[in-house]
Amino acid sequence: MPRKQKAYAAAGVDVDLGNRVKSGIHALVASTHGPEVLGRIGGFGGLFRPDFKGMRDPVLVSSVDGVGTKLKVAFATGRHDTIGQDLVNHCINDIAVIGARPLFFLDYLAGAKLDEAVFRQILKGFAKGCRAGGCALIGGETAQMPGMYHPGEYDLAGTIIGVVDRPKLLDGSKIRVGDVLIGLKGNGLHTNGYSLARSVLFEKLRLPLDRPAPGMKTTLATELLRVHPNYQPLMASLPDGMLRGAAHITGGGLLDNLPRVLPDGRRALIDSRSWKVPALFDLIQHGGQVPQMEMYQVFNMGIGMVLVVPSALADEAVRLTQGIVIGKVVKGPQDVVIE
């Protein structure tokens, strides 16, 4: 006689399946661990014993985020290997602008039903992003929630914990009038603006994912799933005193993110002609008849990170980062003007 299906599994939550899937992840997760990680995956809490030697006044920095409706592109294409990296790199960038380096990362994955193949793709992305970013993947939560999600769909969130020595904290207080704004090039939409992008590209223009869009050489799916870059290693390599501030250009674009790092009485003046906006953004703007200023409030427009440096160090900073001078700090309200 076949064994009767468990009641919880019949209701949509297969605990045994979850245990089987998670039992095979230890080697993958362990590849992100250094000597600071204590214990093992599967405990009630991750254990991390940090080494703060060489720091005068260590300050912990935390951030939590998701990847938004970029997930919809992953669902449509069946490609889930880049989404985990996106999330890790986004979180690392969010603490990098404060001057922090990452210590460890925790993930949350929830869906209607656990798909082993999809789960492993996502986890590989987490591990790859953590290894490249020098942080440990020390735990997370995988939830099966039937009735909460459409079949084949899931949601992701991640939490990062990092550390910065307080004397090196980038809080914007050192930013001065005359400082130069250096933009680091982006790699597509990153992890924001996908709701508008999908509305324009799929609903209005009806573009197929498996073919190049106008002005592009690769398929639209490839363009939309480009991995969000991790800028932290490059920023950490700059000489002490070069960075006075930094802004991660995510949701809110240049218009809303730069003011978050500016002190009172300082305005960011941006020259939009100083870099070439990638074709994907032009396609969205013209295809959806989106006003230009709204584009700069929704998308990164090709600039993934902005660094604020003293004018005397601008040339060296450009050489070290391969960035672009996109503007300067002037007197004025704590806002952004794009010319």
Residue 25's pLDDT is what? Answer: 73
- Give tens-digit pLDDT for 226-238: 999 999 999 999 9
> What confidence category does residue 15 fall into, taking pLDDT thresholds of 50, 70 and 90?
confident
pLDDT > 60? residue 168: yes
pLDDT > 80? residue 249: yes
pLDDT > 50? residue 85: yes
Residue 5's pLDDT is what? Answer: 67
> What confidence category does residue 24 fall into, taking pLDDT thresholds of 50, 70 and 90?
low
Average pLDDT across the chain, whole number: 92
- Give tens-digit pLDDT for 90-143: 999 999 999 999 999 999 999 988 888 898 899 999 999 999 999 999 988 888
pLDDT > 60? residue 2: no
Residues of the chain with pLDDT > 90, as a percent, come to 77
Instruction: State how far the alpha carbon of 247 is from the alpha carbons of 120, 157, 280, in Å.
Output: 32, 21, 22
The pair of structure tokens assigned to 232 is: 């932290």
- This prediction has a pTM of 0.92
Residue 12's pLDDT is what? Answer: 73
What whole-number distance in Å separates Cα of residue 231 and Cα of residue 185? 10
pLDDT > 60? residue 214: yes
> What confidence category does residue 13 fall into, taking pLDDT thresholds of 50, 70 and 90?
confident
Angle between helices 15-23 and 116-133 (to 10 degrees): 40
What whole-number distance in Å separates Cα of residue 210 and Cα of residue 212? 7
Write the burial class of residue 81 (CB in 10 Å: 0-12 exposed, 13-18 middle, 19+ buried). Answer: middle
Give me the sign of the Cα torsion angle 281, 276, 296, 181: positive
β-partners of residue 62 are 161
Query: How does strand 266-270 pair with strand 336-338?
Result: parallel
Residue 294's pLDDT is what? Answer: 96
- Delineate the domains of the chain, giving CATH numbers in brackets: 11-168 (3.30.1330.10), 180-338 (3.90.650.10)
Residue 42's pLDDT is what? Answer: 64
Residue 93's pLDDT is what? Answer: 98
Residue 1's pLDDT is what? Answer: 42
The residue among 302, 299, 293, 305 whose CA lies nearest residue 336 is: 293
Residue 287's pLDDT is what? Answer: 94
β-partners of residue 136 are 104
Contact 187, 326 (CB under 8 A): no
One-letter amino acid at 226 equals R
Quick one: CA torsion of 100, 106, 109, 110, rounded to 10 degrees? -110
pLDDT > 60? residue 71: yes
The residue among 154, 126, 150 whose CA lies nearest residue 142 is: 154
The pair of structure tokens assigned to 142 is: 């995988």
